[in-house]
């Protein structure tokens, strides 16, 4: 299951946005079977509210976007696990840092000794 590409949105993607630069057109259609590097996955809300720059046309799929069926793809499952681990609202475990008596953001590491 892919998530919406819009920053801060955690909803599931149901549509794919592709820009056709030669025609100054933004195309919003059903979710592509695979993520493409030059397209964007959108949730239902963002797919319906998308606007294009002045002079551009939006071609939008008529009807409701359907959620994709669940997949058992191992690579997809791994990507979702990584995305979940990197969520900003996930609690971060504190790592103990040795106190240096100073600010603590710089550390001095012992170098090779001259014997």
Domain boundaries, the chain: 15-85
Place of tokens 């690579």: 75
**If DSSP codes are grouped into helix, strand and coil, which group holds residue 96?**
coil
pTM of the predicted structure, to 2 decimals: 0.57
Burial, 86: exposed, middle or buried (Cβ in 10 Å; 0-12, 13-18, 19+)? exposed
Each residue's pLDDT expressed in tens, for the chain with a length of 115 residues? 789 999 999 999 999 999 999 999 999 999 988 888 889 999 999 999 999 889 999 998 877 777 766 666 656 666 666 666 666 665 555 545 555 555 555 566 666 766 5
Q: How distant, in Å, are the alpha carbons of 41, 75, 85, 94 from that of 34?
A: 10, 12, 22, 37
């Amino acid at each position: 299951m892919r998530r919406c590409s819009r920053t801060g949105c955690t909803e599931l993607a149901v549509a794919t946005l592709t820009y056709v630069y030669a025609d100054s057109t933004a195309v919003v259609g059903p979710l592509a079977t695979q993520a493409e590097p030059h397209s964007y996955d959108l949730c239902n809300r963002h797919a319906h509210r998308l606007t294009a720059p002045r002079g551009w046309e939006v071609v939008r799929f008529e009807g409701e976007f359907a959620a994709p069926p669940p997949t058992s793809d191992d690579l997809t499952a791994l990507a979702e696990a990584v995305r979940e681990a990197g969520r900003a609202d996930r609690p971060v475990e504190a790592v103990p840092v040795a106190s240096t008596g100073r600010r603590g953001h710089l550390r001095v590491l012992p170098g090779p000794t001259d014997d």
